[in-house]
Structure 1
Amino acid sequence: MKVALSFALAIALAIGAPAASCADNPRAPNRFASTLVPSERFEVGVLQVERHGQGARPLVLVPGLASGAWVWQDIVREFSSDHAVYVVTLPGFDGRPAVEGDALAAAANALQELIVSRKLDQPVLIGHSLGGTLALEVAEQQPDLVKGVVTIDGLPVVPGSEGVPPSRRAIDASEMKANAAPVSAEVFKEQQEQYLREVGLLDMGKAADLAALTARSDPAAVLRYTAEAFALDLRPGLANIKGPVLLVAPYFGPDASQEGQSLEGKVEYYRELMKGAQNLDLVAISPSRHFVMIDQPQQLVEAIRRYLESL
């Protein structure tokens, strides 16, 4: 199975895998670059936060690996008219400096600090990929602070690693970091575009624009987050989550057929990884690859809206 969270790409970086060459050509303005002006921009712990709109139920949007606030533009436009929407950017991503130590733990702590310091009344955490994993972690650690979680192709354990024993996870994560080979910004951008064309997006024409944005992230930070996520296994704590969880599973038949996987098979696999969650709804969105908000924005908006209306 192709792994979410850009893990295949990040591991390739760690072992110094070559990337296909990709010449830079003059382009029109980047269609995904952020154009929304927030009502407020501030820092909480290691996070940069942008606030849009206002409303009774706050939403906290957490982007995935190497992504910034720009990935949520359609979601912000749809929901900021009746919700206060807080969009965070993690250190090391989208041009922000990386931090020392456990970046995932620092991000989880900062998300909790955001909720408490801003007196957010039981927000819904909405995360993509690595951001979804972080949302699950916060909901496990502080179940009374969070109304619920929407996780878009973000899981409590790296898919394909669910059989790795806990004693091996930290060791393997350390080896990922130790074996990291330095890559230039140019090579990193090429690898990002290759990943987005093969795993991230359906529309090949969008890959270059999105890669130009993800390439603003620190390659070393991307690898560190990947290793730290590999070390995580949140499955034992899923029962701690009090609020409902919506898991969005993207599915693209031509990719899945190469792996002998049906839509029903992927749904059941994801459901098994979420075993222990007391109030789980799983929605498959097809056709879509990993960046559901780019491939199928309207389907995703409708799924989130149904979820919010059910609270």
Structure 2
Amino acid sequence: MKNTVLLIVLLLTYCANCAQQKQSPIHVEVVGKGAPILLIPGFTVPGDIWQPLAKKLEKNYECHLVTLAGFGGKEPIAFPWLPTVNTALKNYILENNLQHATVIGHSLGGTIATWLATQQELQLKNIVLVDALPASGALMIPNFNPDNLQYNSPYNQQQLAMNAETFTQMATAMSKNMSLNRAAQTKIKNWILTADRKTYVYGYTDYLKLDLREALKKISIPVTIIAASQPYGKKAVTQTYKNQYANLKDYQFIIADNSAHFIMLDKPNWFLEQIQITLASKK
């Protein structure tokens, strides 16, 4: 009888742990050995996007490839989504003693990297932001006010109610604006379609609400920004970044010519080279 009870307790504990892991705000794959690098992907994108970079770096760096809840087949979590994800990443750095780590983030991942850099107790080494802004909502929304963005909006409800065919059409159109590479466009579309729909809709609201422009004043570590030239052109892109990062004391700014938002997919060799150059300069 005692053995049966013990077996039941162990089984329940195992199931509880499995459920907790499934509903984790972040999922991390670690490859390589050496100085730590945390790699955060963009919205809807799995951590696998960093695999080519990790393969280049794994001999000298310990790469932590992050996938966010609700994306890449991972279980969704309760809302608010982004604040929970941010806190989980902060705790991950502290719990795994990754102080003085480099954080590389693309798009939303870069915005999260920026937020992490404002957390003084983390003592990060440097951050690399790949086509990422501190306040995307301010760029996209006239008379931007984060308080006006709510989950329960007509736009959000419309997206939640979309049937599969309409949502696929939208994802296809969006992917064409994010990469110049047709194969990459298919990947991007599939990432959007694979994403948990509520996380896609409400998580994007969280993303647009986040405004780090004032918090940039807290950042004192080196910052490298790699920006895509397309579809707006060098001049417009340079001005946008200058405006958005006006409160950042100093940063290195690099433009990826002939590339759209997914620079690592449009210019893979160039991108790997730039990251390696940046890391070598920060040793």
8 A contact 1:143–1:243 mirrored in 2: no
Q: How many residues align?
A: 259
Q: Which has the higher contact order (CA 8 A, sep 6+)?
A: 1
1:113 is displaced (CA, Å) by 1.1
Match of 2:181 in 1: 203
Which runs of 5 or more structure 2 residues have no equivalent in the other structure? 1-20
8 A contact 1:143–1:240 mirrored in 2: no
TM-score by length of 2: 0.84
Match of 1:270 in 2: 241
1: distance between equivalents of 2:133 and 2:248?
12
Q: Which of 279, 295, 300 is the matching residue for 2:271?
A: 300
Letter in 1 for 2:43: L
Q: Which of 45, 59, 62 is the matching residue for 2:40?
A: 62
1: distance between equivalents of 2:120 and 2:83?
14
Q: Which of 86, 89, 95 is the matching residue for 1:117?
A: 95
Matching of residues 1-311 of structure 1 within 5 Å? 45-55=24-34, 57-142=35-120, 144-158=122-136, 160-161=139-140, 164-165=143-144, 168-174=145-151, 175=153, 176-177=155-156, 180-197=159-176, 199-252=177-230, 255-256=231-232, 262-311=233-282
2: distance between equivalents of 1:106 and 1:269?
28
8 A contact 2:24–2:69 mirrored in 1: no
2: distance between equivalents of 1:178 and 1:209?
26
Assess, with a 3 A threshold, how the Cα gap between structure 1 residues 272 and 144 changes in structure 2: closer, same or farther.
same
1:51 is displaced (CA, Å) by 0.1
1: distance between equivalents of 2:270 and 2:46?
21
1: distance between equivalents of 2:124 and 2:248?
15
Deviations 1:247-292 (A, max 9, x none): 111013xx33xxxxx4133112212201111221111001101111
Cα RMSD of the aligned pairs, angstroms, is 2.2
1: distance between equivalents of 2:226 and 2:49?
16
Assess, with a 3 A threshold, how the Cα gap between structure 1 residues 149 and 173 changes in structure 2: closer, same or farther.
farther
8 A contact 1:63–1:128 mirrored in 2: yes
1:222 is displaced (CA, Å) by 1.1
Could you say what secondary structure the match of 2:123 adopts? coil
8 A contact 1:235–1:276 mirrored in 2: yes
Deviations 1:67-119 (A, max 9, x none): 00121121111111210000111111111121112111111111111111111
2: distance between equivalents of 1:279 and 1:247?
11
1:135 is displaced (CA, Å) by 0.8
Which runs of 5 or more structure 1 residues have no equivalent in the other structure? 1-41, 257-261
Could you say what secondary structure the match of 2:104 adopts? strand
Match of 1:23 in 2: none
8 A contact 2:228–2:260 mirrored in 1: yes
Assess, with a 3 A threshold, how the Cα gap between structure 1 residues 60 and 307 changes in structure 2: closer, same or farther.
same
Could you say what secondary structure the match of 1:164 adopts? coil
Could you say what secondary structure the match of 1:58 adopts? strand
Assess, with a 3 A threshold, how the Cα gap between structure 1 residues 44 and 61 changes in structure 2: closer, same or farther.
farther
Could you say what secondary structure the match of 1:156 adopts? coil
Assess, with a 3 A threshold, how the Cα gap between structure 1 residues 179 and 142 changes in structure 2: closer, same or farther.
farther
Q: Which runs of 4+ in 1 moved over 6 A?
A: none
Could you say what secondary structure the match of 1:288 adopts? coil
Q: Percent identity?
A: 24
8 A contact 1:202–1:295 mirrored in 2: yes
Q: Which has the larger radius of gyration?
A: 2
